[in-house]
Structure 1
Amino acid sequence: MRPLGPERDHYWLALSMAKAAGVDLQAAIDNGLFSQEKWAATVRRCRGCDWGGDCPHWLREHPEADQAPETCVNHKLFSALKAEQEAARANGSSET
């Protein structure tokens, strides 16, 4: 098992990746779609990601994207949150 990366660095990487993928994490937390515990797990997964060294470069090249790259360990999570937020917007809900 490889050592985990620095928590602070991966906090910002995960937050930046979610934003680039069009996910509003604070709105997801506010609306009960995402919890602080899930956020901690998201950062922890990021810290152990083998692709972490390439992530900052990808984020510089893709400040906005349809989704996180499949190489991101949080790709499925961010895709699911984005789909839930888009569905809520389409239904006219305030859950964005």
Structure 2
Amino acid sequence: MDGTRPAPTRPTVLGDETEHYWLIQRMAKATGVDLVGAMDAGLLTQEDWAGLVTRCRGCTWSEGCGQWLNKPVDDTRSFPGTCLNRKRLAALQDAMEGTTS
């Protein structure tokens, strides 16, 4: 060992729960993910939902997310690459499409 220590990292300050709850709701709607249907189908648990909100709360792109969501669009859109929940929401969307086929 050379005696150097890694620089200490600061814990991530989580954003407001209510604000991020609504960001997730809006992101799901904008991208065509049916969160209620996923819960009804047993694909999304309360713990999963809490995890989505918590992950969103730790995201540093929330301001950009709000701007992205505020852009008027007539149809659903693809997930933004910067969304920390895009893979989880896309997996829910795929699973829901599999239950309706």
TM-score (norm 2): 0.82
Q: Answer yes or no: is 1:59 the counterpart of 2:51.
A: no
User: How far is the alpha carbon of 1:62 from its aligned partner?
Assistant: 5.4
Report 1:25-40 matches (<5 A). Answer: 25-40=35-50
Q: Answer yes or no: is 1:83 the counterpart of 2:98.
A: no
The answer to which of 47-56 and 57-66 deviates more is 57-66
Q: Paired residue for 2:14?
A: 4
Unaligned runs of 5+ in 2: 1-10
Q: Paired residue for 1:71?
A: 82
For the 8 Å contact 2:29–2:76, the answer to whether it is kept is: no
RMSD: 1.4
Which amino acid is 2:78 matched to? Answer: Q
For the 8 Å contact 1:22–1:65, the answer to whether it is kept is: yes
Post-superposition Cα deviations, 1:18-76, rounded to whole Å, max 9, x if no partner, equal 11111110110011010011000100000000111111110011554343211000000
Unaligned runs of 5+ in 1: 91-96
The answer to which of 13-22 and 64-73 deviates more is 64-73
2:94, 2:34 → 1: CA distance?
11
Aligned residues: 90
Identity %: 46
1:32, 1:60 → 2: CA distance?
30
Which amino acid is 1:59 matched to? Answer: L
Which amino acid is 1:86 matched to? Answer: E
For the 8 Å contact 2:15–2:57, the answer to whether it is kept is: yes
